[in-house]
Amino acid sequence: MKAVRVWLFCVVGFLAKLNTEVSAKNLVVATYNLWNVMFQWDSRKYYIADMIHQANPDIIGFQEARADANGKRNQLKQLQTLLPEYKYHVFHSTRTVDKNKFGKNAIKGWEQEGLGILSKYSIVMSHHIPLSKAGESDESPRVLLHIQIEYEHHEIFFMVVHFSTNKKLQCQNAMRLINFVSSTGADRTVIVGDFNTYSDYEWPVAAVLNGFFLPNGCPKPVGFEPVGAEQGYGFDDSWPMTNLDKKGGLTFSNMVSLSRFRYLVTFHINGIMEDK
């Protein structure tokens, strides 16, 4: 069966009590898979910019963003030109693209593909963490792009990911994501991205939310220490918290079953989600 991809722009407001004295205003975050420069990017970018302008998120995480070979031009910079309120951006290339999804040569001037972030708030630092290498099971290396911003005089950590489509590698991606978050602390952390989740294989995302793997899901990970609420770890999936229709979060159809790819997850201790 032919797969049908649906672009989803997911926006959620994040309201968290940062400490006992100060409550932050809504921090609105979003995630979007650009699906590189296919389907008339020069026209499509205006519609994307208009959608972002109407939703008015504070931070947006992007997957499958493209740049030229030397990194001077990228899709996020072009969106910044249309959205000057987003003064700060980060782009990290994960691979060089020789051919597109349909076997055709890559479009000249858009040879690099990776993750990106647009932010209204100053980015204090950014770095990336490898989640899995490219190989036979997945031609794309998977990484976590991590930034820190100052928001309402507090540090907020924002992470964007694009998990593998391979189920076994998804488990590895989840393990390394959990290891990184538990080493830095989950408090004041928001994770967004394209998790490529299958409706019959939600174990990797469940592990990210809980900090441990259920016994009937992913293969037992090697070199992994489970964490949980006692260690200060725990995230909430924003969709069921802010929408009564859980099926509405399904964003991909393969004509046989529905799968949910895009997620926004937030630290759940002393925090709530508010739909925006």
Per-residue pLDDT tens digits for 195-253: 998 888 999 999 999 999 998 889 988 878 899 878 888 888 887 776 666 565 655 44
Domains of the chain and any CATH numbers = 29-267 (3.60.10.10)
Split at pLDDT 50, 70, 90, the class of 273 is: very low
Tell me the pTM. 0.82
Distance CA 118, CA 170 (A): 25
Question: Radius of gyration over alpha carbons of the chain, in Å?
Answer: 18
pLDDT value at residue 203: 93
Asked if residue 246 lies in contact with residue 240, where contact means CB atoms within 8 angstroms, the answer is: yes
Nearest CA to 164 out of 148, 183, 177, 150 is that of 177
Q: Name the range with the highest mean pLDDT among 31-45, 219-233, 260-274.
A: 31-45
**Residue 113 contacts by C-beta under 8 Å, 6 or more apart in sequence?**
36, 64, 65, 66, 67, 93, 94, 95, 96, 97, 140
Q: Could you give the percent of the chain with pLDDT greater than 90?
A: 51
Name the E strands within the chain: 4-5, 9-16, 27-33, 59-67, 88-96, 112-119, 123-132, 142-151, 154-162, 189-194, 235-237, 252-253, 258-259, 262-267, 271-275
Split at pLDDT 50, 70, 90, the class of 75 is: very high
Q: Name the range with the highest mean pLDDT among 114-123, 180-189, 254-263.
A: 114-123
Asked if residue 192 lies in contact with residue 264, where contact means CB atoms within 8 angstroms, the answer is: yes
pLDDT value at residue 114: 96
Which one is predicted more confidently, 26 or 134?
Answer: 134
Asked if residue 95 lies in contact with residue 36, where contact means CB atoms within 8 angstroms, the answer is: no
Asked if residue 134 lies in contact with residue 164, where contact means CB atoms within 8 angstroms, the answer is: no
Which one is predicted more confidently, 22 or 262?
Answer: 262
pLDDT value at residue 272: 34
| CA-angle at 56, arms to 24 and 92, nearest 5° | 90
Q: Average pLDDT for residues 143-169, to the nearest whole number?
A: 93
Burial of 246 (0-12, 13-18, 19+ CB in 10 A): exposed
3-state secondary structure of 207: helix
Distance CA 130, CA 86 (A): 27
Mean pLDDT value across the chain: 81
Q: Which residue bears the tokens 């992913």?
A: 218
pLDDT value at residue 184: 86
Distance CA 58, CA 13 (A): 9
End-to-end CA, the chain: 35
Long-range CB pairs of 220-226 (<8 Å, 24+ gap) are 221/171, 221/172, 221/175, 224/175, 224/178, 224/179, 225/179, 225/182
